[in-house]
A and B are shown apart, each in its own frame.
Chain A
Amino acid sequence: AQSVTQPDIHITVSEGASLELRCNYSYGATPYLFWYVQSPGQGLQLLLKYFSGDTLVQGIKGFEAEFKRSQSSFNLRKPSVHWSDAAEYFCAVGSMNRDDKIIFGKGTRLHILP
């Protein structure tokens, strides 16, 4: 069964600084990978997804993520964060099987210092 780990519960960066949120997955075949963002009291918004092809994926709001099979990672990056990026970020992995489930990591809360 697939699983996903987000090692950092909290991350704090200064506004304008670069950001990298870590995500490691476990799956026997090529996974389908997602990053979602959740603002307080709201649902989840899809930032980007990876299914196949180019391992560097561009998303919305200036985010990108790179799929590294050798490291079983799908880290999320942004070159310069804005105060509005403060939120909870979830990495998720999907299965190629008929099993419909997407498994979510426990999330990383991003704090932005002014």
Chain B
Amino acid sequence: GAVVSQHPSRVICKSGTSVKIECRSLDFQATTMFWYRQFPKQSLMLMATSNEGSKATYEQGVEKDKFLINHASLTLSTLTVTSAHPEDSSFYICSARVGPLYNQPQHFGDGTRLSIL
């Protein structure tokens, strides 16, 4: 149980392109999803918290106009990297929390490797 699917697993595109990454909870409803960015050999950096039906909460230093997050349903959140540039190349990981309680663990997708040429 608690499977999170993230798609696509890898994206290679030209600079200036917008890229959409999907995060789906397959067997549970996720009122809260999280988006992380992971640089090589480093820990996860929380970018934003995505709540179903409301605006995402962005961490300090994360450009909300650059990283658009939509959480339109209890099973789907999307991250769109707008006008991507080489410095946006990274490993992006989503997670979803089972249930509304803040002490419940997050379950992670397999990540998306984004490479901007």
Contacts and interface: CB of A to CB of B under 8 A. Distances in A.
A32 interface: yes
B76 to A, nearest CB: 17
A44 B102 contact: no
A96 B103 contact: yes
Interface in B72-110: 91, 93, 95, 97, 102-103, 105-110
A95 B108 contact: no
Nearest to A34: B105
B71 to A, nearest CB: 13
**Interface range, A side:** 20 to 34
**Interface range, B side:** 20 to 34
A46 B43 contact: no
B44 A42 contact: no
B43 A43 contact: no
Nearest to B97: A100
A102 B106 contact: yes
B114 interface: no
A104 B45 CA distance: 8
Interface of A: 32, 34, 36, 41-46, 49, 51, 90, 94-102, 104-107, 109
Given A32-B103, A43-B93, 16 more contacts: A34-B105, A42-B111, A43-B108, A43-B109, A43-B110, A46-B105, A46-B106, A51-B103, A96-B103, A99-B102, A101-B46, A102-B106, A104-B43, A107-B42, A107-B43, A109-B41
